[in-house]
């Protein structure tokens, strides 16, 4: 399974008619899961669909860019859930592989959320996610690990 993460442009940087061309030409054809963190607020996420992909959007309420957008190829049997972890939305996508059930967790920490509060909430959330054989997390946490505050 090929996975692409961390496309670091805001969705707002692309015009609606450019989004499908951009992703299809650069990444969508080669990847089955795409996670776009730090996604800008959009009123109609349907305008950013990709042919052959399902779109899962976290929504958000902290600022203009605190969302996550995940594309999953339609050929992958999966289900998703948007979970609120003390104010920050997380997108979970659960799917089956030959090795068993897997879960992808996509999260973005806004600069407006205190690092320690966020990390405690994320730790609690991940501890409760041990139900599947293999979990992997795709994150943009905005944490300077060399900082005294981290």
User: For residue range 17-67, what is the model confidence (pLDDT) as tens digits?
Assistant: 455 455 555 555 666 666 666 666 667 767 777 778 888 888 776 666 667
Instruction: Identify whether 24 is part of a domain.
Output: yes
Which tokens hold the place of 123?
Answer: 């730790």
List the CATH number of the domain containing 40.
3.60.10.10
Instruction: Identify whether 145 is part of a domain.
Output: no
Instruction: Identify whether 68 is part of a domain.
Output: yes
Cα–Cα distance measured from residue 150 to residue 110, given in angstroms and rounded to the nearest whole number? 14
Residue 8 is predicted with a pLDDT of 41
Instruction: Identify whether 72 is part of a domain.
Output: yes
Is 116 exposed, middle or buried, given 0-12, 13-18 or 19+ CB atoms closer than 10 A? exposed
Q: How many domains does the chain have?
A: 1
Domain range for 134 is: 3-140
Model confidence pLDDT, tens digit, residues 118-130: 888 888 888 777 6
pLDDT band, very low/low/confident/very high, at 80 (cuts 50, 70, 90): very high
pTM across the whole model: 0.69
Q: What is the mean pLDDT of the chain?
A: 71
Residue 85 is predicted with a pLDDT of 81
């Amino acid at each position: 399974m090929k996975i692409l993460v961390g496309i670091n442009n805001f969705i707002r940087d692309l015009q609606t008619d450019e989004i499908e061309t951009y992703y299809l030409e650069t990444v969508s054809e080669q990847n089955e899961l795409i996670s776009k963190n730090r996604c800008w607020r959009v009123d109609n996420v349907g305008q950013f669909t990709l042919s052959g992909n399902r779109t899962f959007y976290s929504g958000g309420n902290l600022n203009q860019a605190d969302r996550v957008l995940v594309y999953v190829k339609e050929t992958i049997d999966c289900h998703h859930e948007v979970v609120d972890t003390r104010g920050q939305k997380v997108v979970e996508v659960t799917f089956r592989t030959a090795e068993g059930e897997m879960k992808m967790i996509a999260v973005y920490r806004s600069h407006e959320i205190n690092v320690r509060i966020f990390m405690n909430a994320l730790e609690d959330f991940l501890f409760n996610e041990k139900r599947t054989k293999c979990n992997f997390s795709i994150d943009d946490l905005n944490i300077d690990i060399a900082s005294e505050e981290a």
